[in-house]
Structure 1
C-alpha cells in the first residue's frame, strides 16, 4: 500500500514514497550542478576601460599569462600579436589555470582552448572563451 488514509481525511505517504521523492530531488540537484554553461555574461570581465592589464614583456611569445583577479587570459601566439579572452572556463565557470604553448588549460576538469582563437580544443567545455578587447600602446596592454 503506497498511502494510508487517516480518520481525518488526510492522506499520509509511506516512507518508501517519501524517500523515493527525496532521492529524485537529490539526483536532479546533482545533475543541475554538473550542467555546463552557455558562455553567457557570467564569464565577462569587469575591468575598467583603459586599465593596464600587463606589459608586453610579461606575455611570452607562443604562450600567455592568466590574470586571475581580472579573469582575463592574454596570449601572444606570434611575436607582436596579442589576444585576450575571458579566463573563466565555460564548463563550470572556474578560472583557467595556465597557458602552455598554444593551449589555454583549465586543469580543474581538463578543458583546453586555443590560445589564438579561444575555441575549445578538448575536455568538457561546451563553448569557446569569449574574446576580450585590448589595446597595445607603448609596451602596455590595456583594456578597451
Structure 2
C-alpha cells in the first residue's frame, strides 16, 4: 500500500515549502462533489467532523462483512455464510466506534442485521466472490 503523495505548496510566511496530502477521491466523495461542491470541500478538504448516521454504520458493517468473507477460502464464500458473518462484524463495529448503539436503537440490531444481509446478498448479483481470489482487500489507487 503506497503512502499518500505530498504536494509542496509555497507559503509566503515560511522559507520551506509546506507539505499537504492530496484529498482522496472515493466514489462517495465524487458523489458529494457532483451533488454539492461545498459539501465535498467540507468533508474531503476541510474534514469537518460529522456525526455518524445509521446509513454510515450500516455501510461500515457491510464493508466489515465483505472483508471477513474474502478472508475465507473461495468455496466457503456462500451467501448463507456471508449472512452468518453479520453479527460478528456488527460487534467489531460496536467495539471500534462510540455511539453506534443509539443509531440502531429503533428497530434494534436485528433490523440492522436484516438490512445488512439484504445489501450483502445484492453483492452476489454483481459478482460471485467464489469465482476469484482477491489480490488485496484494500488498496490505494491514484490517477
TM-score normalised to structure 1 length? 0.23
> Which structure has the larger Rg?
1
More strand by share: 1
Higher helix content, 1 or 2: 2
TM-score (norm 2): 0.23
